[in-house]
Structure 1
Amino acid sequence: MFCRRVLLTLLSTAFALTTAATDCSKLPVFYFHGVRGDHTNAQNFVANLTAEGRTVVALTFCEMPCSLQAIVLQVPKAITQIREVVANSSEFNDGYIFLAHSQGGTISRAVIEEMDDHKVKRYISMAGLQNGQFIGPDKVEYSIANDGPFLKTLVPETMFNYSAYGPEDFYGKMQKDYVLYSIENPDAQYTYSQFNVNRWPQFGSFSTANFFLPVYNNVNRCLPGDNQCIYDQKRRKANFLKLEEAHFFASPADERIMPWQSSIFGRYSEVDTIEEIETKYMNLTIVNMNETLEYTSDTF
């Protein structure tokens, strides 16, 4: 991920990775929208970038309600559309740029890692959900006041009923119950994206019960003798390192992605057991990117 082969610049709200330089002044752009978004979210980017003489493709592989679908199902759709566009225009032969927002950040990174034939030269993630979502103690009061209606739109009540939880339950009980539901119902990973992006702070269960984030962070466990798993980890890392530049932007004013540091690969500290998600909830603290397993072990 951030190994010695790249130059890393870390700011309070943004960082960039760079390797070799390609003239990107005319490279075409693919835009990935966020959850419940569509191609029209790219209007300002299209106007400004086409004025520079660029081609901009606002992707439409999974818009509006479809964007709530499991990300593990959205990634192949994105790859299919990108390959179709690239195959039909020589304009993309020298490479292109990925520009992504919110949930589009995590989808686009998965596309980069999964797509062996990609020619992404520049990658720009704006408030991208890079390291998942977890309602922790730092903004729990805001979440209590504002997130109830939004959460209900992400997962049907027949699967997980957010309405059953009162304000006091936001202090760990609701989060713990959601984790238990995810573990006890593994098929949920193939239903809604909210299950794929839940980065709960108990690594043992997270690394095995979440079928998306651990895979593309390359911290999923490969059993002894599972050569395919090991090969895929190396392949995903190699695909990510084909990028010449990657820029990640985040803001402490972000009141949707929690913690906001997720957009620059931060997360909450770990607990030993699932029960402690509730009982030690107020002890959770932010772990910055350079202290994470992904960084210290250079997993991608």
Structure 2
Amino acid sequence: MLKTVLLAATAAVSVSAADYKPVLILHGISGSAAQYDGMVADLNARGQEAYALPVFEGNPESWASLNYQVEHIAATIEGIVSADPDTYADGYHLVCHSQGGLTCRCLTEYMSDHNIDTLVSMAGPQLGVYDEAFFSFFKHVSLQDLTLEEIYHVAYNSLAQMTLSVANMWNDPNHQDEFQSSDTFLPKYNEANDEHKANFLSLNKAVFVVGDIGNSYDGGIGPWQSALFAYPDADGNLVEMEGQEFYKSDNFGLRSMDERGDLFFQTVDGVSHNDWIDKSEIYKEYVFPHLE
């Protein structure tokens, strides 16, 4: 009963500025808060408070372990909310891009008693990455001689897991035993956990959007279907969300959210990775209608 949003219909709903909840925005890997100045201005123009989080910006800060990032971003958000309780009294939205989209999904599981209304993940690799183009990121850390098939030896090393967000996101479908036993981030947030499940289900709505430009790489993550909780198996066959064990077992509440009608997916043809933040016509059409 997964709902694919027809945003043209929802965009027609009239909401007064006084009814808008504030928005917190998180950038992706190597990104910065300044990249969202346009989005913030567009939200402000319709009478909505918005703030792009100036945390873990650029290199190497945004490459830090995602476990470390989740812990510290959660503390940052808690500080923002507690410093201005009136603004955030009725809750707030999280709008997050790329690595930030994954980080924010895990934040909603990590933060007990959060008051997040809606999570919007824009091209966030929810099940990780495994792609020749994305592999180039590893070459920035002097691993040029490794092939795509060999990178798991480095990614699942304990030092890489403690220090590199890219290693935390590396999900090699051909080495799932090593991924499950050695990756310290993704398996933790996808496995059964009652606290994580309760926290995730306290969201009113979760929205996952991504673009399809005709190949597995959207210009930032690969496979792009990871943004919708779909991922290839060892034979290269794409397993949709409903076929994933974490969904069938409802490990962190994704199936429950789907069944209650609050899980929204959108694939937009021709939209590349950075279009979500660079093109106002894209985020105004596919993101803003969810932010009431």
TM over 0.5: yes
- Say whether residues 1:259 and 2:232 are aligned partners: no
Which residue of structure 1 aligns with residue 280 of structure 2?
none
- Say whether residues 1:55 and 2:73 are aligned partners: no
Please point out which of 187, 203, 206 is paired with 2:159.
187
- Provide the TM-score with structure 1 as the length reference: 0.74
Cα shift at 1:186 = 1.2
Q: Aligned partners of 1:24, 1:178: CA distance in 2, in Å?
A: 50
Cα shift at 1:150 = 4.2
Q: Aligned partners of 1:40, 1:24: CA distance in 2, in Å?
A: 26
Which residue of structure 2 aligns with residue 249 of structure 1?
209
AA of the residue aligned to 1:293: E
Gap runs ≥5 in structure 2: 7-16, 253-292
- Say whether residues 1:200 and 2:172 are aligned partners: yes
- Say whether residues 1:41 and 2:35 are aligned partners: yes
Gap runs ≥5 in structure 1: 1-6, 13-22, 166-173, 220-232, 271-282
- Paired residues of 2:129 and 2:169 also in contact (CA < 8 A): yes
Q: How do residues 4-153 of structure 1 correspond to structure 2 at under 5 angstroms?
A: 8-10=2-4, 25-65=19-59, 66-89=61-84, 90-135=86-131, 140=132, 143=133, 150-153=137-140
Please point out which of 251, 265, 288 is paired with 1:299.
251
Q: How do residues 154-165 of structure 1 correspond to structure 2 at under 5 angstroms?
A: 156-157=141-142, 161=143, 163-165=144-146
Which residue of structure 1 aligns with residue 12 of structure 2?
none
Change (3 A) 1:53 1:134: same
- Paired residues of 2:161 and 2:167 also in contact (CA < 8 A): yes
Q: Aligned partners of 1:99, 1:41: CA distance in 2, in Å?
A: 13
Cα shift at 1:215 = 0.7
Change (3 A) 1:196 1:24: farther
For each residue in 1:239-271, what CA deviation from the matched residue of structure 2 results, as whole angstroms up to 9, or x when unmatched?
00001111100122213211110000111113x
Cα shift at 1:182 = 3.3
Secondary structure at the residue paired with 2:48?
Answer: coil
Which residue of structure 1 aligns with residue 269 of structure 2?
none
Q: How do residues 210-225 of structure 1 correspond to structure 2 at under 5 angstroms?
A: 210-218=183-191
Change (3 A) 1:10 1:24: farther
Cα shift at 1:194 = 0.7
Q: Aligned partners of 1:264, 1:24: CA distance in 2, in Å?
A: 32
Cα shift at 1:57 = 1.4
AA of the residue aligned to 1:208: S
Cα shift at 1:93 = 1.2
Cα shift at 1:11 = 6.9
Secondary structure at the residue paired with 1:164?
Answer: coil
Secondary structure at the residue paired with 2:24?
Answer: strand
Q: Aligned partners of 2:221, 2:135: CA distance in 1, in Å?
A: 14
Secondary structure at the residue paired with 1:190?
Answer: helix
Q: Aligned partners of 2:106, 2:21: CA distance in 1, in Å?
A: 21
Secondary structure at the residue paired with 1:64?
Answer: coil
